[in-house]
Amino acid sequence: NLAVERKVSASTQNQALNALIFLYKKVLKIPLDNFDFKKARIGKRLPVVLSRDEIHKVLSNLQGEFHLMASILYGGGLRLSECLNLRVADIDFGLNEIIVRGGKGDNDRRTILPNLIVHQLNRQVEKARLRLEENMLLIGFKGASIPEALERKYPNAPKELAWQYIFPARKPARDPRSGRLKQHYRHESFLQKAVKNAVRKSQITKNASCHTFRHSFATHLLEDGYDIRTVQELLGHKDVRSTMIYTHVLSINKYNIQSPLDTWDSRS
């Protein structure tokens, strides 16, 4: 019914099937041993990738924090959530590396800190320091939001510069769980809207988003000859097969392949 009449996607069909299996097995306690379930096949979609020229155009239409955040996404291959969660201690200026903590699968990794944004990032750290000084004057301010277990172990950490967010929200807010006044990071929509506008101004018709910077990072590294395992590490992929998809979007021009239509005249 879902597939034929309502024509929902394969992922929606599988979600409905999983819900039914859970209902019968866990709630109704009815075994399903005699039933043969076949999940809908989810087709593979190639990631949207921008050319280097298109990346330059989009970045040129972003300023300030927007430009820095997008540069980190492309320059280091970060997910948007990973960029927003960056703290001062996660920037290793000595080794020119960005430490991504608690990425997908709750794994930490190191990736590239582009030389081109070091100065801009230093200024952003200084802004975070000034923001902390301002917040410390607020009555009831408890510092940056950090995991509860970590705060119990290091009670002073939330008010230390190392734990402050690189991209803090405009002002502190009450933590919905504890009710305490905390400094949180920027909302995802902060950059999403800016990138959408920058893509439109750049007259790019591709369905590009913040995640497109990460796709482009991986593809351009492979185009430059870096091996798949290196790219896998930088992206934080557990399985190299997740990284292999970028080999399918490498520029055809890399192999100097000519269309038969373009060679038509030379053969006639």
State how beta strands 97-100 and 141-144 pair: unpaired
Of the residues 74, 165, 185, 246, only one is catalytic, namely 246
Of the residues 24, 57, 101, 104, only one is catalytic, namely 104
Using CA atoms, how far apart are residues 42 and 33, in angstroms rounded to an integer? 25
Residue 187 known to be catalytic:
no
Indicate the residue type of 91.
I
Residue 248 known to be catalytic:
no
Of the residues 67, 131, 215, 237, only one is catalytic, namely 237
Distances (CA, A) of 119 to 56, 122, 124, 162, 262: 19, 5, 9, 18, 46
DSSP 70: H
The token pair at 111 is 């990736």
Residue 87 known to be catalytic:
no
Of the residues 182, 214, 215, 220, only one is catalytic, namely 214
Using CA atoms, how far apart are residues 133 and 183, in angstroms rounded to an integer? 12
Spatial CA neighbour of 226 closest among 96, 89, 77: 77
Residue 56 known to be catalytic:
no
What angle do the packed helices 188-201 and 64-76 form, to 10 degrees? 90
Of the residues 79, 87, 215, 220, only one is catalytic, namely 79
| Residue 62 contacts residue 84 (beta carbons within 8 Å) | no
Residue 184 known to be catalytic:
no
Residue 67 known to be catalytic:
no
Residue by residue, DSSP assigns 74-91 as HHH---HHHHHT-BGGGE
Using CA atoms, how far apart are residues 42 and 121, in angstroms rounded to an integer? 40
Q: Which residues are catalytic?
A: 79, 104, 211, 214, 237, 246
